[in-house]
Amino acid sequence: MFHFTAIVTCLALAFYFFTSFQVGKARATFGVKAPAITGNPDFERMFRVQMNTLEWLPIFLPSLWLFAIYISDPIAAAIGVVWIAGRVLYMTGYSQAAEKRGRGFGIQALAAGVLWVGALVAIVTRLIHG
């Protein structure tokens, strides 16, 4: 079983849900009524935090699980925690200014990249060596 990866998946979803919730709050705070998604730069940055997290979830989650299945559950989970930490940093930076989103973005991209490369190498290796 993959208990650690399963827990990290739940945590990643909780963080993502939190970014959605922040967008809802930002709608009220900055007076951007649904269905509008533009009109106030502070709102737009929060909206982009959620969207960018959404954009990375389909890279992160399948890579996380393929890494867990083909390599190791606890190692996948540990890298997954790094991904979430990078995402939190990205959110706190971007919510202040667009220029402050770089470091967190880099960390989460690196974590997702390690999961993706690790999984791919492991799958190809397994395929070749039967």
Span 11-50, contacts to a copy of itself by CB under 8 A: 13-14, 16-17, 20, 33-38, 41, 44-45, 47-48, 50
Q: Which among 74-82, 83-91, 119-127 is the span making contact with a copy of itself, rule CB under 8 A?
A: 119-127
Q: How far is the CB of 26 from a copy of itself (least distance, A)?
A: 12
DSSP string, 68-104: HHHT-HHHHHHHHHHHHHHHHHHHHHHHH-GGGGHHH
Q: Is 54 helix (H, G, I), strand (E, B) or coil?
A: helix
Contact assessment for residue 57 and residue 87, using Cβ atoms and an 8 Å cutoff = no
C-alpha span between 112 and 83 (Å, rounded): 7
Binding site for a copy of itself (CB under 8 A): 1, 3-4, 6-7, 9-10, 13-14, 16-17, 20, 33-38, 41, 44-45, 47-48, 50, 54-55, 57-59, 61-63, 66, 70, 94, 98, 101, 116, 119-120, 123-124, 126-127
